[in-house]
């Protein structure tokens, strides 16, 4: 059963069967109206309820429902392993650091510490907040009573046993999609960690999946000497591109190159491609481990605290916001407008607005808004100009697409080509203030490619270091079709299908969005 919350109370929506192979954590929006003085407010309040797949219709009246759910959850999050389809035998790990051995006090004989490795049965909780009510801010509930249900996922890190002989391994690294701060940091740590295991053959596949089939794009030999200082620059040593050949052609290339481990850095689309490659390798019974590292400055990968590049993007966005603020406050009736990246998720825009403290209006894809009308953005701008003398707006690129003409086009990755909401708002502001006879000086800043092309900051560099190392540990442990990330401050491995079901979105009922509204002081624009 799914809950829908309106201002005038709580209503229930009957259980619906979803055409999904698994349960998904979805944001379901209920719309309602309430009279509030001078206007009727259209509220979209998200209540996150985990939808139950058609394969398992939970009956919440059954006293065993929680046990059944936990069992199904464990099955979904069980990590694909080479031993599922191949007769592979484990061997003692070759991953060892000098500090791993030290002299005993009595006879001087080296001995091993007992806590160097992660046990295969180690788990970490995916969700750590126990909500007492479905009406709690940001509540994520499975049943109408918002019961606490344990959801355990696999802890990342080196294992005592591995399933590859490092001397025979050839590892490949590929970076796909657009640029993102930290790509070089991840590449660097993957190479470092592979060499510590004893791998001698490491190559980079140039320009994303294109490098598997495009003629004239040879492999790039990688070693510690080659990658030692690449983290000092932005971009990717290997280059990036969108799209690619057929999965069959890519796996043919992997087979011909005799690649045993493939490390794929990319976002949702790239992960989908990597999962298809993993499935094709399993179908052909190839001993190939396919491991992803989630890369997107949009921070829109499900279940994870954050993805690498996000912190740097938020920090870099401050430069554009500060410039817009200075321009706005230095002009008579100045209005600064900044457009930031975020196709379906407004995380960069929200966090940049929060961190800057200079934003009066924050617009994100998850929250619909109107420009015109008595309660639209333009009327609020009038108020800001009259009361403050200036204003600063921050908008995500995917916000307000319902206000623009649809282009009906897609990019090489299959993403819908968006209309330019920044230019649209700029033009609407100019026209509006001209029509009402009030002077307005609008300055528009679009720092899109500047934000994603910079070097990773300290926070992202640390995240990239750990993710790169854990990707290698996962591959040597025999896992394939997985991605590595951070959940509730702990590093984990997750099956790829569970993180690409939908983009991760901001919950308009979450505490973080409420904090943003408190910071900007903006009303509902509907």
Active site positions, annotated: 298
* Beta-carbon count within 10 A of 136 CB: 16
**Sheet bearing 170-175, strands edge to edge:** 123-125, 152-155, 490-495, 482-487, 289-294, 261-266, 170-175, 201-205, 220-221
Residue positions forming the annotated binding site for substrate: 296-298, 341-343, 397, 449-452
Annotated binding site: 178, 242-243, 267-270, 296-298, 341-343, 397, 449-452
Cβ-proximal residues to 420 (8 Å cutoff; 6+ apart), any chain:
339, 404
CA distance 322 to 318: 6
Question: Closest Cα to residue 131, out of 146, 115, 151?
Answer: 146
Residues 6+ apart with CB under 8 A from 61: none
Q: Which of 278, 321, 314 is nearest to 500 (CA)?
A: 278
For the annotated binding site for ATP, the residues are 178, 242-243, 267-270
- CB proximity list for 513: less than 8 A, separation 6 or greater: 350, 367, 506, 507
CB 209 within 8 A of CB 241: yes
**Distances from the Cα of 425 to the Cαs of 337, 364, 370, 394, in angstroms?**
9, 13, 11, 11
Question: CA-CA distance, 486 to 304, in Å (whole number)?
Answer: 6
Contacts (Cβ under 8 Å, ≥6 apart) of 114:
none
Distances (CA, A) of 514 to 4, 96, 504: 19, 47, 18
DSSP 8-state secondary structure symbol assigned to residue 120 = T
Structure tokens at 189: 């740590």
Q: What is the Cα–Cα distance from 11 to 5, expressed in whole angstroms?
A: 6
Contact yes or no for 162/91 (Cβ under 8 A): yes
CA–CA separation, 177 and 265 (whole Å): 9
Residue 361's nearest CA partner among 431, 429, 309, 311 is 429
Answer for the pair 191, 230: CB distance below 8 angstroms, yes or no: no
Token pair listed for 162: 């591995």
Task: State the binding site for Mg(2+).
Answer: 268
Neighbouring residues of 98: CB distance < 8 A, sequence distance ≥ 6 = none
Please state at what angle helix 247-257 crosses helix 268-283, rounded to 10 degrees.
Answer: 60
């Amino acid at each position: 059963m799914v809950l829908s919350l309106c201002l005038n109370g709580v209503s229930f929506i009957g259980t619906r069967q979803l055409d999904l192979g698994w349960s998904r954590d979805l944001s379901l929006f209920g719309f309602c109206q309430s009279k509030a003085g001078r206007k009727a407010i259209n509220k979209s309040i998200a209540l996150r309820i985990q939808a139950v797949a058609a394969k398992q219709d939970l009956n919440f009246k059954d006293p065993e429902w929680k046990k059944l759910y936990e069992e199904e959850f464990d099955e979904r999050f069980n990590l694909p392993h080479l031993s599922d389809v191949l007769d592979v035998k484990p061997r003692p790990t070759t991953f060892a650091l000098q500090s791993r051995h030290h002299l005993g006090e009595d006879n001087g004989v080296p001995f091993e510490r007992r806590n160097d490795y992660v046990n295969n049965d180690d788990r970490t909780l995916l969700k750590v907040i126990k909500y007492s009510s479905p009406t709690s801010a940001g509540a994520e509930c499975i049943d109408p009573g918002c019961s606490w249900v344990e959801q355990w996922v696999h802890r990342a890190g080196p294992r005592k046993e591995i399933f590859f002989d490092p001397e025979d391994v050839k590892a490949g690294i590929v970076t796909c999609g657009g640029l993102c701060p930290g790509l070089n940091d991840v590449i660097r740590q993957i190479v470092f960690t592979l060499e510590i295991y004893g791998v001698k053959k490491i190559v980079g596949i140039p320009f994303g999946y294109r490098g598997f089939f495009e003629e004239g794009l040879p492999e790039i030999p990688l070693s510690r000497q080659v990658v030692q200082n690449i983290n000092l620059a932005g971009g990717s040593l290997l280059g990036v591109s969108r799209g690619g050949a057929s999965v069959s052609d890519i796996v043919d290339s992997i087979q011909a190159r005799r690649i045993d481990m493939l490390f794929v850095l990319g976002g949702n689309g790239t992960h989908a491609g990597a999962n298809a490659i993993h499935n094709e390798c399993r179908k052909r019974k190839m001993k190939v481990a396919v491991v992803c590292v989630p890369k997107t400055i949009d921070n829109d990968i499900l279940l994870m605290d954050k993805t690498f590049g996000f912190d740097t993007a938020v920090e870099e966005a401050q430069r554009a916001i500060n410039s817009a603020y200075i321009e706005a406050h230095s002009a008579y009736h100045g209005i600064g407008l900044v457009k930031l990246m975020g196709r379906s998720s407004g995380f960069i825009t929200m966090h940049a607005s929060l961190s800057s403290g200079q934003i009066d209006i924050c617009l994100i894809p998850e929250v619909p808004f109107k420009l015109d009308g008595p309660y639209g953005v333009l009327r609020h701008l009038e108020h800001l100009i009259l009361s403050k003398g200036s204003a600063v707006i921050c908008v995500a690129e995917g916000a307000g697409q319902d206000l623009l003409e649809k282009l009906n086009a897609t990019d090489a990755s299959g993403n819908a080509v968006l209309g330019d909401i920044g230019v649209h708002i700029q033009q609407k502001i100019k026209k509006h203030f001209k029509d009402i006879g009030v002077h307005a000086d609008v300055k528009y800043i679009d720092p899109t490619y500047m934000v994603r092309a910079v070097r990773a900051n300290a926070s992202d560099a640390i995240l990239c270091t750990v993710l790169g190392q854990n990707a290698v540990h996962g591959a040597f442990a025999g896992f394939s079709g997985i991605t590595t990330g951070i959940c509730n401050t702990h590093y984990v491995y997750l099956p790829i299908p569970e993180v690409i079901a939908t983009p991760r979105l901001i919950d308009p009922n979450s505490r973080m969005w409420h904090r943003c509204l408190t910071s900007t002081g903006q009303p509902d624009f509907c």
